């Protein structure tokens, strides 16, 4: 589905007359931090660290954990900054994004672009030189997938944007595993799939609350272009697949009975919520 043209915003609403460089230093620092979307990065790191423990079959080296988290923070921050640079036209028209640094003029588009590229380069080199190059390429791949495939190609064209775009958010699972083992196996792939099938039923209910925003700018999120009944059915389907995939770790020998009980309990609650 193709996106409709975004209406222009009245002059003077996007940004302000004063130069970003003339703003208070503290406010500028806060604005650059906001470009990285720290709350989203927290979720990505939460999925990275536990996988490192699973890969190590114990407690991984603290220095390795810190370097992996730092590299992940910089990579995700760079991707988010570049996402804001690309989406600055529609961010200015959506209520929930109207206070982002590019919209308010706290950061200029050129600064945002340079900031995002710098974080991308630094994170890749950090991973490659201090962790391993497999993790570096996975990190760079996640960044490029989010910026190019999701933000530039899918987001404004298809109602399945978050499904395939969510791949970028699943890759930290693989990065956490590769940072410890410098290899791949079925365990991180299964966890990747759990995250993949978790993303749509997690995000679609959230997007339903702001679907007027998405409709206003022509972003065809599923709740915008489909009925609530269709969205609910999709949420249930993805939820069942997610729970089923999460149980594969035990028969493959990666986890024991405790994980199975927790997965069944959490999965059962999730399905109850999905059907509700």
CA distances from 221 to 39, 40, 157, 215, 216 (A): 21, 19, 9, 8, 11
Confidence (pLDDT) at 14: 56
Domain CATH number, residue 73: 1.10.357.140
Q: Is residue 130 part of a domain?
A: yes
Q: How far apart are CA 106 and CA 115, in angstroms?
A: 14
In a domain, 170, yes or no: no
What does the pLDDT read at residue 20? 72
pLDDT of residue 19: 65
pLDDT the model gives residue 149: 97
pLDDT at 44: 86
Domain count within the chain = 1
Asked if residue 67 is part of any domain, the answer here is yes
Closest residue by Cα to residue 201 from 272, 109, 100: 272
Residue 231, domain member (yes or no): no
Q: Is position 32 within any domain?
A: yes
Domain hosting residue 31, numbered range: 25-144
250 vs 254: CA distance, rounded Å: 6
pLDDT on residue 43: 84
CA 270 vs. chain centroid, Å, equals: 21
Is position 261 within any domain? no
pLDDT at 15: 53
Q: Assess if residue 177 is contained within a domain.
A: no
Tens digit of pLDDT per residue, the chain (276 long)? 444 444 444 433 455 445 676 778 899 999 999 999 998 888 888 999 999 999 999 999 999 999 999 999 999 999 999 999 999 999 999 999 999 999 999 999 999 999 999 999 999 999 999 999 999 999 999 999 999 999 999 999 999 999 999 999 999 999 999 999 999 999 999 999 999 999 999 999 999 999 999 999 999 999 999 999 999 999 999 999 999 999 999 998 888 999 999 999 999 999 999 997
Answer yes or no: is 76 within a domain. Answer: yes
């Amino acid at each position: 589905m193709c996106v409709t043209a975004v209406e222009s915003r009245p002059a003077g609403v996007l940004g302000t007359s004063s130069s970003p460089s003339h703003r208070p230093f503290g406010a500028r620092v806060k604005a650059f931090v906001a470009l990285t979307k720290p709350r989203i990065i927290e979720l990505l790191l939460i999925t990275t660290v536990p996988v490192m423990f699973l890969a190590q079959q114990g407690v991984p080296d603290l220095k390795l954990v810190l370097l992996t988290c730092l590299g992940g923070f910089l990579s995700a921050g760079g991707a988010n900054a570049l996402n804001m640079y690309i989406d600055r036209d529609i961010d200015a028209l959506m209520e929930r994004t109207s206070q982002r640094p590019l919209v308010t003029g706290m950061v200029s588009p050129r600064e945002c672009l340079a900031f995002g590229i710098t974080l991308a380069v630094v994170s890749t080199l950090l991973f490659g030189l201090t962790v391993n190059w497999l993790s570096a390429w996975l990190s760079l791949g996640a960044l490029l997938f989010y910026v190019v495939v999701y933000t530039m190609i899918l987001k404004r064209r298809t109602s399945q944007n978050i499904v395939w775009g969510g791949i970028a958010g699943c890759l930290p699972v693989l990065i956490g595993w590769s940072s410890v083992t410098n290899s791949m196996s079925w365990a991180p792939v299964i966890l990747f799939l759990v995250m993949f099938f978790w993303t749509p039923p997690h995000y679609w209910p959230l997007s339903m609350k702001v679907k007027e925003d998405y409709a206003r700018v022509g972003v065809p999120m599923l709740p915008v272009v489909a009925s609530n009944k269709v969205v609910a059915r999709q949420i249930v389907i993805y939820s069942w697949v997610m729970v089923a995939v999460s149980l594969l770790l035990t028969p493959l020998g990666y986890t024991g009975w405790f994980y199975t009980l927790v997965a069944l309990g959490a999965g059962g609650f999730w399905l109850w919520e999905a059907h509700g």
